[in-house]
Amino acid sequence: MKLIHMSDIHLTTPGREIFGRDPLLNFERALDQVRADHRDAELMVISGDLSDLGDLADYHLLRERLNGFPIPVRLCIGNHDHRETFLSAFPECADADGFAQGVHDTSFGRCLLLDTYEPQTAAGSFCRTRQAWLERQLSEHEGPFFLFMHHNPFPTHIAPVDRIGLLDDAAFRSIVARHRSKIRHIFFGHCHMVLSGSVAGVPTTSLRGTNHASYPVFAEVLTVADLPEAYGVAFIGDDYVTVHMVEFGYRGEILSEDSPG
């Protein structure tokens, strides 16, 4: 089965650029490529920073662009979003506690969409209420599970990135540890760079966003780099998960091995 993972689309006023790039144009280009190449995907998840400023107009624009999209789409929110504003445009994404969390069943397993947004900070939070929700979801179903979230759930060892990572990461990892036999993969965003690792033994991946990218400089600096815009394609089998980062923003040649000279 095939899954599409996008993150950090940062929609904003049409025509406004972020770091010299047009987020809406790039998001539309990503959608066009998914339509053309991946209509057989069973699900697409966008894991946060849907809007750059948390504006209602951005969420209306997102709903408009996803209307009629040939693949089911589920959404997470990130630090650039605004929960109440997002839920006013996507009320179906609210859980019983008012968080933007949810469940989506697929042929390859149960997907959990987590809310790591915390007001007035770029860092993420996974408070006791959200922890209880996750614990309940993992306890009440046999799985397998795939988790989607915005903030990085482990240290990147890039200090300014980790200061805005998931503040409750140890508590989150302890829940994952208790249920690791049921959880096959964790997908996240936020860092705008390619990352892989594990959380309590569960494999994790992240990727660049559909607009601007970061570069792993191991110093006291947040970076922006002129790297191609990207989204992820995951292939899920009974006993494996393969994740590709598709750099749809690459503008050079792609040659086959039998190309002349």
- CA nearest neighbour of 179 among 110, 101, 95: 110
SS3 at position 200: coil
| DSSP result, 45-104 | EEES--BSS--HHHHHHHHHHHTT-SS-EEEE--TTS-HHHHHHH-GGG--TTSSS-EEE
pLDDT-derived band of residue 47, with 50, 70 and 90 as boundaries?
Answer: very high
Is pLDDT above 80 for 29? yes
Decide: 76 and 115 in contact? Cβ < 8 Å: yes
Residues 80-84: what's their mean pLDDT?
98
Residues 175-181: what's their mean pLDDT?
97
Residue 70: cis peptide before it, omega within 30 degrees of 0: no
pLDDT-derived band of residue 135, with 50, 70 and 90 as boundaries?
Answer: very high
**pLDDT for 258:** 78
Distance CA(221)–CA(214), nearest Å, equals 11
- CA nearest neighbour of 79 among 161, 13, 158: 161
Token pair for residue 154?
């482990």
pLDDT-derived band of residue 169, with 50, 70 and 90 as boundaries?
Answer: very high
Decide: 72 and 106 in contact? Cβ < 8 Å: no
pLDDT tens per residue, range 186-210: 999 999 999 999 999 999 999 999 9
Distances from the Cα of 204 to the Cα of 2, 169, 201, angstroms = 17, 14, 9
pLDDT-derived band of residue 230, with 50, 70 and 90 as boundaries?
Answer: very high
Is pLDDT above 90 for 261? no
Q: What residues have CB less than 8 Å from 192, skipping those under 6 apart?
A: 8, 208, 209, 212, 213, 214
Token pair for residue 48?
């946060």
Token pair for residue 245?
């980062």
Domains and CATH numbers, the chain: 2-246 (3.60.21.10)
Is pLDDT above 70 for 180? yes
Is pLDDT above 90 for 254? no
The residue with greater pLDDT, 253 or 176, is: 176
Distance CA(137)–CA(120), nearest Å, equals 28
Kindly report the pTM of this predicted structure. 0.95
Residues 17-43: what's their mean pLDDT?
96
**pLDDT for 255:** 87
Mean pLDDT of the chain: 95
pLDDT tens per residue, range 11-23: 999 999 999 999 9
Residues 164-170: what's their mean pLDDT?
94
Measured in residues, the chain has a length of: 261
**pLDDT for 257:** 81
Distances from the Cα of 46 to the Cα of 11, 148, 170, angstroms = 12, 9, 24
